[in-house]
Structure 1
Amino acid sequence: MKRPFFVAVLLIVFAILLTQWSNSALLGLGIFGAGFVACYLSKEWKYRKEVMVLLIVASFFVCYTYWTLCCPYGLRACNEQRVNVVFQVLSETEQRGKYAQTTVLVYGVQQKSETKMVRQKMLLRVYGEMTPMRPGDFYQAKMKVFEPRKAEEKGEFDYNLYLKSQRIYSIANVSSSEITKLSKGHLPFFIDKIIDIKSSIIENMRRFMPEEGLMIVRGIMWGDRMEEGQIKNDLTVVGAAHILSVSGLHVGFIYLLINFLLKRTKWDKKKQMLIVMAVLLMYAAMSAFAISVLRACMMFAILQMAKIRKKVYDPLSAISLAAIIVLLLNPLVLFTASFQLSFLSVAGIIFFVRVVNLQFGSLPRAVRSVVQTMTITICVQLCILPILLYHFAEISLISVFANVVIIPLTGAIVITAFFGMFFCFLPFMQPYFAFLTVQVYVLQVVAAKFASAKYAALTLSAMPLSMAIAFYICLFALFGYFPFQKIAVRRMVALSLALCAFGFVLQMVVG
């Protein structure tokens, strides 16, 4: 079977969607079980064994998704009650207006006179002035625990499902005056040490850069949350807000830089791969293991192994394997915007950019580079259009032109800031960080100029699922993936579009 990982990820996505939609494991197990029996009886089919294995994997994801949705978490009995909790801090504290927010791991709950051992992640909101809690340390506090709010209307953001995608099933509110530190602690794989290093880097950069410029650098480098401001609004309007959330683009710049430096050494490829992966993993930890960073790190790891073993690198199989691994960590990440945008962006590059670039092979190199950048932007925007409309209800009409300028600027900022991370502890780095500040200022000016254009962005209603499926069918047809010379293919495409149209009409009537 060609590309089994790609077929597997399609089945897994279907299994997760079916389980979440039905809120039951019986329907999915029934469908995949019937398919398994049919394959078992078809003893002469060439791919019988491979398909049976894939159906078993899909059935596993049905059960796994249902368990994740309906997990009997330990704090369920404490909902809407004030309890005494012992917890360990897992992440950096973020300021969110009136409160500070962090993720904690609960170890014990004292309710009335009863103490219960619990091991569960929880979102903690701290009100009042406080000293930031260090990741890894243990604390105790009396707090009110409640369940995250579920979506009440169709199309509404489901905060409950979003938190479940991070294995968070409870939220707690606490006053800073009620928090008591118990002891120091550590997180696995030195994550707390890496976070300490990041905090130290930020403090040293603060000596050389204005606060606004530093916030933009933090957003670009590590995806740190930014307050609403002019630069964030401008980048959203021009379709370049992705540079403020760490993605494969940022990892790609760092990967190319490290590879460029290592090629100047005499180390063998295995040592180079270990260094590259160590740096990328440290960068992923600083970025709180964002889904897009994990995806990019896994794809680059597969690329490095393919080079060492002298195998052909297949990006479609690599992204499929990365998606399977991410969904194994938590199948509900499928419903997050970060997963959808990250994987569909790369899918757009894999499926469509190559087809378009074949038409521009004879252009001069300088012109071809600009055209290829625009081609990548167009293909990515087309591929993620339904997702953008569903989550944000807005698309940029000038992103193709804006990204031609903004992406190289972002690359320059990432590389300059990456070197600055290693030398920001030195006292004479003011000129270097002044150069970084100028780059950030240029980015602000460019984003503002593009955002000031008339009709830079367009607000639309969310695209229904039936229309999204029809959109992707037409997109693949436009890029020549369907052999329309065959009558069976023409009929299949026509039937699929007719079913999508029927689904759309039915949704309008029922909705």
Structure 2
Amino acid sequence: MQASKINLLFKNDVGFYLLTALLLIAVSFLAFVCESFSQKIICILITGYFAVLLLKKYATSLKLVLILVSLFIGVITLNKREASFELTEQSQIKIYPDQVHVKDDYLTGIGHFQRGKILISGKVTSEQEKDLKKGLPLIISQIKGECGEIEPATNIGEFDYQNYYAAKGIIQKIKYSTCNLRVMRSNSVLTNLHKIRFDLQNYFQKMPQLLGFFASELILGENNAQENQEILNNYRDLGVIHLLSISGLHVGLYVLIISTICFYLKMTDEEAFLCCCIVLLLGIFLSYGQAGFVRASLTYFLGKICKFKGYRVAGIDILGLACILHIIFVPRLFMMAGAILSYLLAKGLQLTNKFGKMSQSILLNVLLTPLLLFYFYQVNFLTVLFNLMVVPYFNWVVMPIAFANVLLFGFTKKLAPFFEQVLELGEKAIGNLSNTKLGLLTFGKINWWQCLILILLTVLLIIALREKTEWKINKKKLSCSLIGTYFLFFSMIHFPLRGQVTFIDVGQGDSILITTPFPRRAYMIEQAEN
């Protein structure tokens, strides 16, 4: 199987579904992500390129492509008809307790109205807080307050909440001053699933800090960022933050455990597969459909179905089919950084499967570096080394302890202090390693077109190294080009030829940041009403 041969240089039958998935991804970027004229032009060219490849290589399957593209465009059209919430005397919002948080008598979270979702916040009384603790859905009525759109980021480098929530289909927020909360009695499957999630949240909150943090991360895909921000920063600075994301590692673990239990119960492969499907579907709901977990689950489902039916489908096409299904059900999927990183990593694993483990790790980190710079502005050159050090600790210490505590904590709490001490020692060592800042480079934020160029050069380099004599582009020239491009972009960020004036909105009084051309100097002018 030649996983990388999906362009006009080769003639083969592998890669149809992957190429179709790439076409749909390009269409989704055009519909939801591209804003400027230049972005749209580039996206249209990429879309056209994938369309030509499909036409040239898979003309016999053209009808299937047209059906999938037409279906996806229809889904996009329906999704872009954003339902607007209008605050009236009859307005009602439904909330599930597992989707909201109450701190210092103040509620924040996600609410549901008839045609969509909305961010909600406001004060709650002690009686209302008691109702929330029942774990049942509540209806908010008689709402008085302010309703409006979620504001976009106003400063360079500021987290864009508007884009983040738009990816989840949320464009509005409401801050209520007064309201009426009424418990909604229901025995529906959805209500019971939300109740399970709510109970798990409360269960994990009763645990010691680190045990609760890892349990919440590994099962629910969420955490209290304020209390655990130092841990997150340590993992991010070392380049191992991916360990805290629910992904293929967890799918593999769940499948292994369930399959082993089914084996000892003498169940058939089909029965074991059904049990795994039930567990993974529950995991998808509990993790709120985290992209990495959904991708890995879909890949497992499709792979097993093909095996049972005797279909011979290449691994890259299994990934393509998973992506097609995923993006049709979640058309805004690739507005989320997690989804882009997850699918790029999955494809990278396939592209580098011919290399040794060390070479594969290095190439995967090089492949993901442009996206890390685009989203997080920094990269650690020693990530491969830190992965070799931290991954075994996480796989053989953190995960077994976290899951063992989840199973045992409800029966006995005597082991929890010991488990917590073990994790404290491990996290202290990771914190000390992170504080050294070894290998950490604050590169600066690259633009979208810089990110695209770096990804393309990296993919070409991996293919050149993989195909060797079959690939006619010189890998040494590609390596030099990639290094030179990084150096050029770094110089453009840190040694600009033009100055810049940035107005910073801090909510109370604006500030002005003035940066001069090379040699660079920065000046801050603060303004305030008082």
Give TM-score, length-normalised by structure 1: 0.76
Tell me the residue number matched to 1:404.
Answer: 388
User: What code does the residue aligned with 1:210 have?
Assistant: P
Residues 321-330 or 243-252, more deviating: 243-252
**1:384 and 2:368 correspond:** yes
Where structure 2 has 5 or more consecutive residues not aligned to the other structure, the ranges are: 1-12, 501-530
Tell me the residue number matched to 2:507.
Answer: none
**1:88 and 2:91 correspond:** no
Given the alignment, which residue of 216, 219, 223 partners 1:218? 216
Where structure 1 has 5 or more consecutive residues not aligned to the other structure, the ranges are: 108-118, 358-371
Q: 1:258-277 to 2 correspondence within 5 Å?
A: 258-277=258-277
Distance (whole Å) between structure 1 residues aligned to residue 29 and residue 280 of structure 2: 31
The CA deviation at 1:197 is 2.9
The CA deviation at 1:272 is 0.3
User: What whole-Å deviation, never above 9, does each CA across 1:398-437 have from its counterpart, x for those lacking one?
Assistant: 33222223323333433443344444432xx234434532
SS in 1 for 2:225: coil
The CA deviation at 1:16 is 2.0
Tell me the residue number matched to 2:231.
Answer: 231
User: What code does the residue aligned with 1:425 have?
Assistant: G
Tell me the residue number matched to 1:185.
Answer: 186
The CA deviation at 1:171 is 1.0
User: What code does the residue aligned with 2:218 have?
Assistant: I
Tell me the residue number matched to 2:123.
Answer: 127
Q: 1:447-462 to 2 correspondence within 5 Å?
A: 447-462=430-445
Tell me the residue number matched to 1:433.
Answer: 416
Q: Decide whether the 8 Å contact of 1:93 with 1:100 is kept in 2.
A: yes
Q: Decide whether the 8 Å contact of 1:237 with 1:456 is kept in 2.
A: no
Distance (whole Å) between structure 2 residues aligned to residue 235 and residue 128 of structure 1: 35
User: What whole-Å deviation, never above 9, does each CA across 1:347-375 have from its counterpart, x for those lacking one?
Assistant: 222212x1222xxxxxxxxxxxxxx3x55
Q: 1:67-106 to 2 correspondence within 5 Å?
A: 68-69=79-80, 71-75=81-85, 78=86, 85-90=91-96, 91-94=98-101, 99-106=106-113
Q: 1:247-396 to 2 correspondence within 5 Å?
A: 247-311=247-311, 314-352=314-352, 354-357=353-356, 372=357, 377-396=361-380
Distance (whole Å) between structure 1 residues aligned to residue 338 and residue 285 of structure 2: 17
Report % sequence identity.
17
Tell me the residue number matched to 2:8.
Answer: none
The CA deviation at 1:6 is 0.3
Given the alignment, which residue of 172, 180, 188 partners 1:170? 172
Structure 1 residues 349 and 439: CA distance shift in structure 2, 3 A: farther
Q: Decide whether the 8 Å contact of 1:238 with 1:399 is kept in 2.
A: yes
Q: Decide whether the 8 Å contact of 2:136 with 2:183 is kept in 1.
A: no
User: What code does the residue aligned with 1:392 have?
Assistant: F
The CA deviation at 1:158 is 4.0
SS in 1 for 2:222: coil
User: What whole-Å deviation, never above 9, does each CA across 1:76-117 have from its counterpart, x for those lacking one?
Assistant: xx3xx676531222442235899432222113xxxxxxxxxx
Tell me the residue number matched to 2:4.
Answer: none
Q: Decide whether the 8 Å contact of 1:151 with 1:157 is kept in 2.
A: yes
Q: Decide whether the 8 Å contact of 2:22 with 2:50 is kept in 1.
A: no
SS in 2 for 1:463: coil
Distance (whole Å) between structure 2 residues aligned to residue 33 and residue 460 of structure 1: 30
**1:144 and 2:150 correspond:** no
Distance (whole Å) between structure 2 residues aligned to residue 36 and residue 470 of structure 1: 17
Q: Decide whether the 8 Å contact of 1:102 with 1:124 is kept in 2.
A: yes
Distance (whole Å) between structure 1 residues aligned to residue 403 and residue 53 of structure 2: 53
Residues 292-301 or 228-237, more deviating: 228-237
Distance (whole Å) between structure 2 residues aligned to residue 33 and residue 335 of structure 1: 17
User: What whole-Å deviation, never above 9, does each CA across 1:280-330 have from its counterpart, x for those lacking one?
Assistant: 222222212222211121112223324434555633222222222221123
Q: Decide whether the 8 Å contact of 2:14 with 2:314 is kept in 1.
A: no
User: What code does the residue aligned with 2:455 have?
Assistant: Y
Distance (whole Å) between structure 2 residues aligned to residue 284 and residue 437 of structure 1: 27
The CA deviation at 1:31 is 8.3
User: What whole-Å deviation, never above 9, does each CA across 1:444-471 have from its counterpart, x for those lacking one?
Assistant: 1232132122434221122333333332
Given the alignment, which residue of 23, 31, 37 partners 1:11? 23
User: What code does the residue aligned with 2:355 have?
Assistant: V
Tell me the residue number matched to 2:524.
Answer: none
User: What code does the residue aligned with 1:385 have?
Assistant: T
Distance (whole Å) between structure 2 residues aligned to residue 243 and residue 378 of structure 1: 17
Q: Decide whether the 8 Å contact of 1:150 with 1:159 is kept in 2.
A: yes
Structure 1 residues 14 and 88: CA distance shift in structure 2, 3 A: same
Distance (whole Å) between structure 2 residues aligned to residue 36 and residue 475 of structure 1: 19
Q: Decide whether the 8 Å contact of 1:201 with 1:425 is kept in 2.
A: no
Distance (whole Å) between structure 2 residues aligned to residue 36 and residue 375 of structure 1: 29
SS in 1 for 2:332: helix
Distance (whole Å) between structure 2 residues aligned to residue 346 and residue 268 of structure 1: 29
Could you say what the CA RMSD is over the residues aligned between the two structures, in angstroms? 4.1
**1:418 and 2:403 correspond:** yes
Distance (whole Å) between structure 2 residues aligned to residue 471 and residue 38 of structure 1: 24
User: What code does the residue aligned with 1:221 have?
Assistant: I
User: What code does the residue aligned with 2:241 have?
Assistant: A
SS in 1 for 2:14: coil
Distance (whole Å) between structure 2 residues aligned to residue 308 and residue 13 of structure 1: 29
The CA deviation at 1:394 is 1.6
